[in-house]
Amino acid sequence: MECGDCPIRYRAVCSRCEDSELDMLNRIKTYETYAAGETILWAGDRMRFLGSIVSGVATLSQTMEDGRRQMIGLLLPSDFVGRPGRANSPYDVTAVSDVMVCRFAKTEFEALIETSPAISRRLLEMTMDELDAAREWLLILGRKTAREKIASFLAIIARRQLSLTHGGVAGAVTFDLPITREAMADYLGLTLETVSRQMSALKKDGIIALEGLRRVTAPDFAALLDETGDDADGGMPA
């Protein structure tokens, strides 16, 4: 695939690159696909590649000895995978749906960061965005009730899918859950039974409606936001 045709050309780590920088990335990139359910990288594995999610959904998670698991990132198209300068992956990376990754050879990419400001600046910006998202998640995990956690998750997924991070969203909104109830539980620090119960409760209260298991409609997005416990004026870092 040519970079010019890439669906994430203007959002990924390469988004600010000039043609000359794109050429250099082109030389070290390969596309790799992973089937739904496949583990892309185990915690502790040596990382030979870094890359961008081109299509599909993957998760970052950490598992304790006794099996307790916490998801710590949801990787959607254009998100970056891996950390320059680190030898081993601290997390499990798992393909949730079929995933295509644009992989860069690690050593060569690290060299490019040193010489290409367009790449390193964009990487800094993306890393800061991830840090903000992780910090927002800390509030959700540390202080929110189960119902607020579910509502927050639904609101975040809705916003990401509708690409409406900026500006108000109003009225009815429909979107798809990218992950199972169990994965939602791992994300929210809950059990899957509690996730199921709270989804049912939100449905009973008319906050959401379900079509099948994955498709969610919020007839009044503002009402869903009310359930998140966040300030009325958004709560999203500006």
Partner DNA sequence: CGAGCACTTGATCGCTTTCAATAGCTGTGG
Partner DNA sequence: CCACAGCTATTGAAAGCGATCAAGTGCTCG
Instruction: Give yes or no for residue 237 binding its own copies (CB under 8 A).
Output: yes
Name which position in 15, 55, 62, 97 contacts its own copies (CB under 8 A): 62
Burial annotation 194-214 (CB, 10 A radius, 16+ → b, else e): bbbebbeebeeeebbeeeeee
Considering only the stretches 2-10, 63-71, 167-175, 201-209, report the one whose residues sit in contact with its own copies under the rule CB under 8 A: 63-71
**Spatial distance between the Cα atoms of 46 and 64, rounded to a whole number of angstroms:** 20
Instruction: Give yes or no for residue 189 binding DNA (CB under 7 A).
Output: yes
Nearer to DNA, 200 or 217 (CB): 200
Name which position in 26, 88, 145, 165 contacts DNA (CB under 7 A): 145
Q: x/- binding map, residues 41-60, to its own copies, per CB under 8 A? A: -------------------x
Candidates 155, 133, 143; CA nearest to 202 is 155
**Residue 164 beta carbon to DNA: minimum distance, rounded to whole angstroms:** 25
Instruction: Give yes or no for residue 24 binding its own copies (CB under 8 A).
Output: no
- The two tokens of residue 105 are 């050879």
**Spatial distance between the Cα atoms of 80 and 186, rounded to a whole number of angstroms:** 21
Contact 208, 198 (CB under 8 A): no
H or E segment and range at residue 132: helix 117-143
Q: How many helices and strands in the chain, by DSSP H and E?
A: 7, 11
Which residues inside 168-187 make contact with its own copies, applying CB under 8 A? none
Name which position in 29, 103, 122, 147 contacts DNA (CB under 7 A): 147
Angle formed at CA 24 by CA 19 and CA 27, multiple of 5 degrees: 125
Candidates 68, 77, 115, 117; CA nearest to 96 is 77
Residue ranges that bind DNA, judged by CB under 7 A: 145-147, 180-182, 189-197, 199-200, 210, 212-214
Footprint on this chain of its own copies (rule: CB under 8 A): 60, 62, 64-66, 68-70, 72-73, 83, 85-88, 90-91, 113-114, 117, 120-121, 123-125, 127-128, 130-132, 134-135, 137-139, 141-143, 188-189, 229-231, 237-238
